[in-house]
């Protein structure tokens, strides 16, 4: 049975525009739950058997100082993790000049001891990132994303034609914006692992898109003179089973990671879970219509 993917492309483009608008609104109004790597400061991860809420933890640690009154507290929990609760406490200590500073070894030991006493908990880790390191990580991260997109545009344009390269990059921008939007909407931590997921998504989505484009080029040469929309639709139908099988295999793998993991890996798993769906969708319904409009010849 042949499905008319191309004939319904405007409905899917409209859906994508809605998702992009919603994502951008959330990104620019709500923002991100930014990880320690991007803001700098100190993060204490602790486990407790007590049935605390985030409000309980905040009230108890307020006595440790002004920075703890303003601390960002996140509960980290995996599916089935009922025997204890894990909390991430991020603080931004400042020196007399108001600049971000890190704790020395004695301060870290004292803070860990007090937190364990106050919350009847066990400090699992005490991580710190300086302000300069956070700024450098932010700059390098966004450069990595931009140069990745540019590199893919050049590669696909050289392998196929420029219209294919444009279609690929538009689809990737679509994927990245919507995935970032989901991070903003659902409040998952935007950290290095999340960026790794986005870059992995870019590679995964490109692979799906190139499979479709390769079949479009093959059919275009085989059936010269046929309408481009018909060629693209036949190409999608010829690879759709392979695409679905590959995507479902990856989706269920990263979904299990999302459900049963904690910490940074959870952000990676969330990004990949959303990204696999969005990337597969864009390869069919976003990248292909651009070829129909611009790729008059293969």
Domains and CATH numbers, the chain: 6-34+134-294 (1.20.1640.10), 41-129 (3.30.70.2040)
- How far is it, in rounded angstroms, from Cα 129 to Cα 41? 5
Nearest residue to 40 (alpha-carbon basis) of 101, 121, 103: 101
pLDDT single digits (tens) 167-188: 888 888 899 999 999 999 998 8
Nearest residue to 121 (alpha-carbon basis) of 200, 56, 45: 45
Asked whether the beta carbons of 274 and 167 are under 8 A apart, the reply is: no
For tokens 């994303």, the residue is: 145
Quote the radius of gyration of the chain (alpha carbons, Å). 24
Confidence of residue 242 (pLDDT cuts 50, 70, 90): confident
Asked whether the beta carbons of 292 and 232 are under 8 A apart, the reply is: yes
Q: What pTM was estimated for this model as a whole?
A: 0.83
Distance from chain centroid for Cα 158: 28
Whether 278 shows a pLDDT value over 70: the answer reads: yes
Nearest residue to 234 (alpha-carbon basis) of 247, 250, 217: 217
- How far is it, in rounded angstroms, from Cα 211 to Cα 277? 16
Confidence of residue 80 (pLDDT cuts 50, 70, 90): low
């Amino acid at each position: 049975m042949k499905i008319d993917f191309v004939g319904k492309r405007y409905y899917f483009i409209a859906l994508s525009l809605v998702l992009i608008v919603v994502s951008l609104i959330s990104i620019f109004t709500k923002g991100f739950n930014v990880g320690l790597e991007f803001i700098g400061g100190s993060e204490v991860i602790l486990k407790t058997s007590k049935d605390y809420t985030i409000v309980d933890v905040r009230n108890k640690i307020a006595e440790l100082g002004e920075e703890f009154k303003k601390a960002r507290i996140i509960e980290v929990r995996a599916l089935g993790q009922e025997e204890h609760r894990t909390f991430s406490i991020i603080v931004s200590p400042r020196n007399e000049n108001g600049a971000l500073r890190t704790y020395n070894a004695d301060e870290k030991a004292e803070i860990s001891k007090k937190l364990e006493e106050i919350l009847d908990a066990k400090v699992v880790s005490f991580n710190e990132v300086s302000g300069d390191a956070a700024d450098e990580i932010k700059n390098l991260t966004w450069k990595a994303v931009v140069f990745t997109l540019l590199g893919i545009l050049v590669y696909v344009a050289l392998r196929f034609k420029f219209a294919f390269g444009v279609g690929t990059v538009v689809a990737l921008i679509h994927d990245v914006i919507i995935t970032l939007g989901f991070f903003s909407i659902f409040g998952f931590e935007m950290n290095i692992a999340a960026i790794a997921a986005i870059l992995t998504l870019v590679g995964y989505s490109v692979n799906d898109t190139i499979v479709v484009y390769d079949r479009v080029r093959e059919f275009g040469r085989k059936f010269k003179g046929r309408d481009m929309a018909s060629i693209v639709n036949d190409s999608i139908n010829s690879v759709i089973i392979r695409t679905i099988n590959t995507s479902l295999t990856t989706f269920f793998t990263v979904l299990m990671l999302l459900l049963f993991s904690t910490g940074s890996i959870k952000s990676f798993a969330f990004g990949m879970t959303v990204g696999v769906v969005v990337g597969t969708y864009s390869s069919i319904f976003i990248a292909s219509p651009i070829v129909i409009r611009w790729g008059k010849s293969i």
